Structures are given as structure tokens and as C-alpha cells.
Amino acid sequence: MLPPNMHCNSNQHMIGRRQFLGDLWTGLGVTAGAGLFAHQLGASEVARRGKSIVVIFLDGGISQFESWDPKSDLETGGPFKAIPTSVPGIHISELFPYTARQMHRMALVRSMSTGLDDHGLAKNLVRSGRTTRTATEYPELGAVVAKGLERPDFPLPGYIRTMASGVGGRGRDAAYLGPAYASVSIGAEAGGIRNSKLPEGVSPESDQRRQDFRRFLNERHRRRVEAPEIDAYSQSFTQAQRIMERSELFDISREPETVQASYGKSEFGKKLLLARRLVEQEVPFVEVSHDGWDFHHNNFEFHLHYVADIDRPFAHFLEDLTQRGLLERTLVIVMTEFGRTPKINAGYGRDHYPNAWSIAMAGCGIQHGAVIGKTDPKGVEVTDRKVDHRHLFHTYLRAVGINSSGHFQIAGRSFPIADPAYGPIKELLA
């Protein structure tokens, strides 16, 4: 049975609440933003703020052998050796020397077993935390977190995908949660969000006048008719203006030279730096993707180059978050859609392998230096604590304080937040 007061939890009320605070912002005017976006907050102060998730998505499927679960087996292990890390007893691939020194901040899950080996389906699986039956689309983690960590007065989108340059639009990844929680792509430069600069021929004064007239009309309209939808619409313009006023927020060239240098010149480094700036602003969910990890040929040579591209910036990202007191409230996940085969094929490649693979994470509520699960010496089967995307989904949400066994109430319908038949990996939660 649906709850009898099904309309009382509707997002109309949420909008109403948001609008109330939104009007306060409008009232405070232009200067009010400065405090919210100010940098250099003390570590303890930051720690009290809202939580965030950063997903680093290695698109295509990184090899667990060449990363988090190296094997010395002659037949399957490949040419790279395992190196010790900052946690005694944990070894990872020698391709990750910088990350190895951050292991005391991280946790590994080496017993992922998900069953799907098609890129598209597998991505949908790990991003949505569900095994989709047809006829139902589930929202992705980003949208769920944007909704779960929603705050009425928050001026930025809750789910941001980073881009190195260019401007992006709204994604279609929020399913039944609605477009308000869908991803917004943002480039790592001023105006990195589409239409965030005044068009040619409109001066700031001119913009001011037209906005004043708009608000004048809205105010008069509100005297005649009141509804949360109407307020939400007015509020979206306020939000847009705040994004425009703060377009430097997306501009990583505002960072000191040394900081920019420390993240490196690569696209990935730039996106990570943008992610850090966004996490500082308490954006609930940020995704940083790194593409091309699908090495059916020359797996080892490619991993050598690709891992080199991410190892140092990633390790620096964790270091930087720690220094700024952000890692305590930020969950960082290194995600991919599946692992690679133990068998090395004729072209020295590894093919898709969803039966036994790994995921790494760090920060916010996650046990430091933990390793969950085990695979056999050849890396063929999971031999201990087999888990899948559904357990992980619960775990991510719990780590940032979202009750993953609860429900979202959307327009008179009730949706379980995560797959109700599963639960989190408890030993991973600090």
C-alpha cells in the first residue's frame, strides 16, 4: 500500500522549502556569494561541511592484474611485479609507485563479481547499482547522491561531470529522480558550463535592467498566484546568475602555478584539479573520467603508459584532499566497468572479465588500508567475500551518510534508494 499521505512528501514541498531559502539569497544580493565560495578554510571547519563523492571512472575496463590485484603466477600474472605499499602486507602493481604510498588512506575490494561483460550493460550496472531488468531505468549513483545530499540553499548542480575544456549540457542519467538531479558537464575553465557568459551585445548593466524587470513582474505575479513550481522557476534564474557570477570557480587557471603544476598538464590532471575545487564547494557528486582502457592487444605496453598518466595526479589528488582536510568528508572511488581476463591472448592482450576484479576507494567513512575479498593465485575465481555492484552501491551511499535502505518519494511514487535485496559491505565502513 502506498502511504496515505502520498502527496505530502512530494518534491513540490521540497521545492517550496528550497524556494524559501532561495528568496533569502536573492535578498542578500550579489555580495552574499563571496563567503560561500571563499577558499582557505581551516581543516576542522571544512570537516563539518557536507559530504561529497568523486568517482574516477576508468572507462573500458582497467586490468586488475596491472593495478590492485597483481599476481606472480607465470601463466596469468603478466610481466609486471607487485610492490609493497604504505600498508605492510598490501601489494599492488609496480605501475602505481605514487599511489602505493597513499595506500594507508585507501581500501581495496578484490572480490568483485558482476557477470556482465558488455561495456554498455556493465557500465550501467556499476553506475546504477542494479541489475536492470528491461522496462526499468535506474538513476546513476551521481543522481542518487545529488538527491540524497540535496541542500535547499546549494547554488551549484548536485551532479557534475568534469571536462578538461569546452562546455557541456545536462545528461539524461537521473531516470525517475527527474532532470533536476541529472549530471551537468562542466569544463575546467571560466565559463565551462554552457551559456554561462552573457551573449554578445548584452552588457552587465543591460542584464541587470532586464533581470530587474523580470523580478518586478515575478513579484507582482506572486501576489496573485503562489505555487512551489512558480518559485522553483524563479529560483532557477537566481541559480543561473550565481553560476555566472562564480564562473571563476570552474577556472583552474585561478589556482597558484605550483598547484597547477602539481596536478600536471594532462587532461586527467586538469579534471582532478577541477574536481578538487568543486569538492571544496561541497558539490555532492563529481565524476572524472579517463577513457580508453580496453586493451585486447598489447595490454602491458598500454597499461605502462595509461597508468603512468593517472598514477601521479591521482596520488597527488589524495594528498591534496588530505592536506585540505577534505578527504574526511569526500569519498573517492576508482571505478571501472569490469576486469580483464587472466588468460593473456595471442596479441598480448586481455579480454573482458567480470568474474573476479577490483575496485579501489578512499576517504569519508571508509576503513583505511582495508582489503576486502581475495582471488585465487591465478586470479581466475573469487575465493573469499564475493561481492558485486549492488553491495558497493549501498556501501558508497552509507559512507556519505545516505540511508541506502530507505526510499525516495517521487511524485506520489515510492522508489527504494538501492537494491532492497542487498546491503553494504559493513567491514569496509569505518
Partner 1 sequence: MVVVQRLTNLFRPLQVLLTTCLVAVVACVSRADEPPPLSDRIDQVVAASYHGPEIPSAGDLEFLRRIYLDLIGRGPMIEEVRACLSKLEQRPGESQAIRREVIDELLDRDEFSRQYARVLDVMFTERREKISVLEFRSFIRQWLADKKPLNELCLEILAADGTGDQWRPAASFFINRDADPNLMTRDVGRIFFGRDIQCAQCHDHPLVADYQQSEFFGILSFVNRTYLFLDNKQNNKPLLGEKADGPLEFASVFHPERGKSPAQPILPTAMAMDAEPMFVSEADAYLVPPEKDRRAVPRYSRRQQLAVLATHPENQSFNRNLANRLWANLLGTGIVHPVDMHHAANPPVSAALLRLLANELVTCRYDLREMLRQITRSQTYQRSQTVPQLESWQGPGGGIAGLESELVNVDRQLRELTPREISLNEEKKEATTALNKAQADVNRIQQQVDTERATLQKHTAERDAQATKLTGIQTRKKTTQELLASLKTAHAESEKIVLLRPEDKELIVARDLLKTRLATATAAATAIDNEVNEQQEESNKAERRVEDQRGRILALANRRLALGEFVAEARVVLRRVRHREQALLDQRSDHEQNKTRITTLKNWLAQRDQVRQSIAAGQNDQSDVQKQQLDSLQTELLKTWRRSYAIGSVRGLSPEQFTGATYTTLEMYRPVREKALAEWESTHKANPAERDDVHKRQVFVSAAVAANMWDTVEDLIVERFSAPAGAPQDGFFATVDQALAIQNDPDYQKWLKPASGNLVERLIALDDPNQFAEQLYLSSVCRLPDEEERTMIRELLSQHAGEREKLIQELVWGVLASAEFRFIP
Q: Where does this chain bind partner 1 (CB under 8 A)?
A: 1-2, 6-7, 133-137, 157, 169-170, 172, 174-176, 178-180, 182, 184, 193-202, 206-207, 209-214, 216-218, 220-222, 224-227, 229-230, 232-237, 239-241, 243-244, 411-414
Nearer Cβ to partner 1 (104/209): 209
CB of 263: closest distance to partner 1 in angstroms?
A: 27
CB of 3: closest distance to partner 1 in angstroms?
A: 9
Alpha helices per DSSP H over 246-298: 257-263, 267-280
Taking the C-alpha atoms of residue 81 and residue 90, their distance in angstroms, rounded to an integer, is 13
CB of 396: closest distance to partner 1 in angstroms?
A: 23
- The torsion of the CA quartet 352, 354, 356, 359, rounded to 10 degrees, works out to 100
The burial class, CB within 10 Å (0-12 / 13-18 / 19+), for 79 is: exposed
Q: Which of 121, 238, 140, 239 is nearest to 181 (CA)?
A: 140
Nearer Cβ to partner 1 (195/403): 195
- Are residues 341 and 299 in contact, defined by beta-carbon separation less than 8 angstroms? no
Nearer Cβ to partner 1 (113/235): 235
Q: Would you state the cell numbers that stand for residue 402, as one nine-digit string?
A: 545516505
Nearer Cβ to partner 1 (14/83): 14
Nearer Cβ to partner 1 (44/134): 134
Q: Would you state the cell numbers that stand for residue 106, as one nine-digit string?
A: 585507501
Nearer Cβ to partner 1 (115/416): 416
- Sequence-ordered list of residues with C-beta below 8 angstroms from that of 56, at least 6 positions apart, any chain: 272, 288, 289, 290, 310, 314, 332, 333, 334, 335
Residue 275's alpha-carbon distances to 82, 113, 157, 216, 269, in angstroms, are: 30, 29, 13, 37, 10
Nearer Cβ to partner 1 (231/287): 231
CB of 288: closest distance to partner 1 in angstroms?
A: 21
Nearer Cβ to partner 1 (6/43): 6
Q: Which of 397, 395, 411, 406 is nearest to 359 (CA)?
A: 395
Nearer Cβ to partner 1 (172/305): 172
Q: SS3 string of 70-92?
A: CCCCCCCCCCCCEEECCCCCCEE
How many residues in total does the chain contain? 430
Taking the C-alpha atoms of residue 243 and residue 245, their distance in angstroms, rounded to an integer, is 5
Q: Would you state the cell numbers that stand for residue 339, as one nine-digit string?
A: 576486469
**Residue bearing cell 559491505:** 425
- Are residues 173 and 142 in contact, defined by beta-carbon separation less than 8 angstroms? yes
Amino acid identity of residue 121, one-letter, is L
Check the CA dihedral 216-218-219-223 and report its sign. Answer: positive
Nearer Cβ to partner 1 (200/257): 200
- Are residues 298 and 346 in contact, defined by beta-carbon separation less than 8 angstroms? no
Q: Would you state the cell numbers that stand for residue 264, as one nine-digit string?
A: 600536471
CB of 418: closest distance to partner 1 in angstroms?
A: 16
CB of 208: closest distance to partner 1 in angstroms?
A: 9
CB of 124: closest distance to partner 1 in angstroms?
A: 14
Nearer Cβ to partner 1 (48/221): 221
End-to-end CA distance of the chain: 36
DSSP SS3 for 297: coil
CB of 356: closest distance to partner 1 in angstroms?
A: 27
